[in-house]
């Protein structure tokens, strides 16, 4: 009987899509939009309000992605053990996911530090002004790097997922199993 992973794949992919898309929207829109029609003392507050509204949705998306990923690993444990290349890609994708989780979590901590500072002058959400307090300016500079790191990492997870989907093609499964059973020296 053929086994499908529609629920697991849907959870995994929808969660990842929201995580990637939300982080990309932050780079493109949220962090710069605070400069429109607001004084420099209000810019951080405007961006912080948008991120505060997004945070629970992002957390849910990450949780859904993680549950879907765990289901996929459990459903494919035979391929992990038997098909050459699957375990390596799974480990790599897991490492990317852990890095993205760390970057996302640290971004939240930095964002909270900026929120706690109240109304301070800034150029935009991730660019300090000359008068920005040093601790806020440091947090903003770190966020400026992380705002690109998170979509890059989650984009990497998307690419790894696409590659792993290709590994499930019948020809790839057969080749991967054969390579596992017949060492490269014998196959040559």
Residue of 107, 8, 102 lying closest to 64 (CA atoms): 8
- Domain annotation covers residue 1: no
- Domain annotation covers residue 149: yes
Q: What is the pLDDT of residues 109-145, one digit of tens each?
A: 999 999 999 999 999 999 999 999 999 999 999 999 9
Specify the number of domains making up the chain: 1
Q: Give the pLDDT band of residue 165 (cuts 50, 70, 90).
A: confident
If phi over 0 gives left and psi between -120 and 50 gives alpha, with beta otherwise, what is residue 183?
A: beta
pTM of the model: 0.86
| Residue numbers of the domain that contains 35 | 6-181
């Amino acid at each position: 009987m053929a086994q499908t992973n529609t629920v697991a794949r849907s959870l995994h992919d929808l969660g990842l899509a929201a995580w990637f898309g939300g982080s990309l929207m932050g780079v493109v829109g949220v962090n710069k939009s605070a400069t429109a029609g607001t004084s420099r003392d209000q810019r951080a507050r405007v961006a912080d309000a948008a991120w505060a509204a997004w945070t629970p949705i992002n957390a849910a998306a990450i949780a859904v992605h993680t549950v879907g990923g765990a289901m996929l690993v459990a459903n494919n444990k035979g391929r992990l053990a038997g098909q050459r290349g699957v375990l390596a890609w799974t480990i790599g994708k897991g490492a990317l996911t852990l890095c993205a989780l760390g970057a996302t979590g640290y971004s939240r901590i930095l964002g909270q530090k900026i929120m706690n500072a109240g109304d301070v002058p800034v150029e935009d959400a991730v660019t300090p002004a000359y008068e920005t307090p040093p601790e806020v300016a440091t947090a903003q500079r770190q966020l400026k790097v992380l705002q690109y790191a998170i979509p890059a990492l989650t984009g990497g997870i998307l690419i790894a997922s696409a590659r792993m989907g290709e590994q499930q093609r019948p020809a790839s499964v057969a080749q991967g199993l054969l390579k596992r059973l017949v060492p490269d020296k014998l196959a040559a």
